[in-house]
Amino acid sequence: MRERRGIKTRMLLVAATALIVAGATFCSLLIVRHRMQVQVTDNLTSDLAHSVTTFQNLQLQRLSSLDRENALLADLPSLKALMTTSDRRTIQDAGVEFWRVSGNDLFALADNQGQLVTAYTKNHDRSDAKLLAGIGTLLGSSTTHYLVDGDRLYACSVRPLFFGKQTDGTLLGYVISGFAIDRDILAEISQATSADATFISEGRALASTLDAPLIKELIARSAQISNGTSKPVWVELGKERYITEGEDLSSHSSAPLQLVVLKSFDQAQQSIRQIDRLVIIAGFFALILGIGLMAALSKFLTRPLEDLATGVRAFGVGDSSHLLPENGPREVRELSMAFASMRSEILQANQALLESERLATIGRMASSVSHDLRHYLASVYANAEFLASSPLSEAERSDILSDIRTAVHGTTELIESMLIFSRTGAGVRRGHELMATLLERAITLLRAHPDAAGVTIVAHACDSLTTAAVVDGKQMERAIYNLLLNACQSAHAHTGAGNVVATLEVSEGLITLQVEDNGAGVPEGIRSSLFQPFVSEGKQKGTGLGLTLAHCIAAEHGGEVTLVSTRLGETIFRMTIARGLVPQTALEGANQRRYASG
């Protein structure tokens, strides 16, 4: 099953901190931005109302100043004398001087019947019919002080001319003075109110502080602004948002007139954007600081856990000397102490188990070996008594000596097997050997064994030089000998002619020895434990160490011994070993030793 590797706790803590700080910054940004927008909107609305009031107050101040100037003109004796002539031509010609003295943009004189006698402006002739009609409207209403003259707008003052005192004198006529409301005038007032202003009459902008493209858009939305309520209206002019408020001045004007005051919301948005940037920068530094602190804190928290996990993994592979963490949070220290205690108990239990298994192994070894040793010793003892107690012929003496020699050989072989088994895994002395030579020597030794009597042993080996390997020659010869002996014992017990075939093959990096016999096969009951020590069934002699030794020696040489197949009349064992790195000089030396020994 494939191991699923999760995310480290340190990364989870750092990621959680980053998400929390980023989320808090984002929420703070939304809250601050919303509050700032509400505050800015309220401030703009209040400023706009204040700007409209301030604009009107400034206009009233200029009108009051104009009234005082006009009153001075009305008190001039020369002007009164001119009006007493009642001659229109004389008044028109002489009135120019009074217009120049006043310095106003508009100057007009009317008779005592309210009929306009003459009017002077910078841009119109005094006979202009529209101008005369507008001045007539001013004379007909005491509350009208705005004069619309085509595309121009004037703020006007009307004063009567009396011969004598105003209370009981004779009315001679009227003097009208006015100043033009243009972009320059509005710019001065706009600077004082921090707002833009536009005068609109019948779809025309008479004066404005806005640019021409914005004026056209504003005129198109003038009906939306004059919605009959006093509430400010939001409009978009030239991709910029404005808050506007309109004031209908038609009751004070000679024609329909609307004053629109505007304040830009996008300019106020700049402060919001600046605060947004400050919040983002503060959040970024908070994020960096939070991640740094959490990384340091998580290292303090998780490093002991990682050390403890490393100790657990090391113990899992058999390393019980790995140091466990002694610092970190209290829970980690308690867990480390608990694991250390558990590890100590497991080691003690394993030691006790190994000791018990060692004793059990010694007991099984003693039980298995004692019978064979007693058998061999009894044979030696009985034959020795025969030699000592009775006269024997030369043939009988030779048979008894042969039996004694066989018993001694069996005892020696038994003791040697036990010694090799006890030393397996330690003291391996490797050298460059020819496996074909080791196979030949093992077969030669085997032919002298009683269990090989009557068994035909055939060996098939490739070129001897190709079978060179880096092995412990003595142990490898013993492993081959045990495999062949096991096959001979199986074939010897089978009724009929026993045959054993040993085949030596070489592949890339491996050498394979396959041993086949025609015996009865491996019993079903011992196939799963065949290579465990003291496992033997169906044999009258043997300790059960042969295959175990062969398997252990093969494992020490990077290979193994396996049961390929078994059935009545055919059993095949295969031993593989790693060939190792064999220099050419070693091959030549091994070949020379082979021929020398031959």
Q: Does 573 lie in the same domain as 551? A: yes
Q: What is the mean pLDDT of residues 34-60?
A: 76
From 423, 443, 461, give the residue that closes a domain: 423
Is residue 384 in some structural domain? yes
How many angstroms separate the CA atoms of 14 and 18, rounded? Answer: 6
Q: 416 and 482: one domain?
A: no
Query: Does a structural domain hold residue 290?
Result: no
Percent of the chain with pLDDT over 90: 4
Structure-block tokens of residue 285? 């530094």
Same domain, 479 and 369: no
459 located within any domain: yes
419 with 464, same domain: the answer is no
523 and 570 housed in the same domain: yes
| 565, pLDDT greater than 70 | yes
0.95 cut: is pTM over it?
no
562 assigned to some structural domain? yes
Asked whether the beta carbons of 177 and 107 are under 8 A apart, the reply is: yes
My answer on whether 447 and 354 are in the same domain is no
Instruction: Output DSSP code: residue 396.
Output: H
Q: Is 314 within the bounds of a domain?
A: no
Domain enclosing residue 531, as ranges: 428-597
- Residue where a domain stops, chosen among 423, 452, 485: 423
Rounded to whole angstroms, the Cα distance separating 571 from 483 reads 12
Which of the two residues, 407 and 502, has the higher pLDDT score?
Answer: 502
Average pLDDT of the chain, as a whole number: 78
Phi, psi (5° rounding) for residue 461? -135, 145
Give tens-digit pLDDT for 357-388: 666 666 666 655 565 566 667 777 777 777 77
Residues 366 and 469 in one domain: no
572 and 474 inside one domain: yes
My answer on whether 512 and 416 are in the same domain is no
Are residues 337 and 459 both part of a single domain? no
State mean pLDDT over 433-438: 89
Domain containing 408 — which CATH number?
1.10.287
Residue 191: φ, ψ to 5°: -65, -35
**Of 405, 399, 411, the residue nearest 375 (C-alpha):** 411
> Could you read off the pLDDT of 340-362 as tens digits, one per residue?
888 788 878 877 887 776 666 66
Q: Which among 429, 436, 430, 431 is positioned nearest to 598, based on CA atoms?
A: 436
418 and 541 share one domain: no
Which pLDDT score is estimated for 454? 84
- Average confidence (pLDDT) over 516-526: 84
Of 400, 423, 446, which marks where a domain is finished?
Answer: 423
pLDDT at 540: 45
Helix or strand holding residue 365 (H, E): helix 330-389
In tens, the pLDDT along 312-332 reads: 878 777 777 777 777 777 777
The most confident of the ranges 272-286, 379-393, 553-567 is 553-567
- pLDDT confidence of 503, banded at 50, 70, 90? very high
Q: How far apart are the first and last CA of the chain?
A: 55
In a domain, 465, yes or no: yes
Q: Determine the average pLDDT of the residues in 252-271.
A: 80
DSSP letters spanning 458-520 = EEEE--GGGGEEEE-HHHHHHHHHHHHHHHHHHHHHSSS-EEEEEEEEEETTEEEEEEEE-SS
- Please count the structural domains in the chain: 2
Residue 495 has pLDDT above 70, yes or no: no
Is 68 within the bounds of a domain?
A: no
Residues 377 and 439 in one domain: no
Instruction: Please report, for the domain that includes residue 517, its CATH number.
Output: 3.30.565.10
Say if 333 falls within a structural domain.
yes
Residue from 598, 591, 595 nearest 468 by CA: 591
Instruction: Return the SS3 of 110.
Output: strand
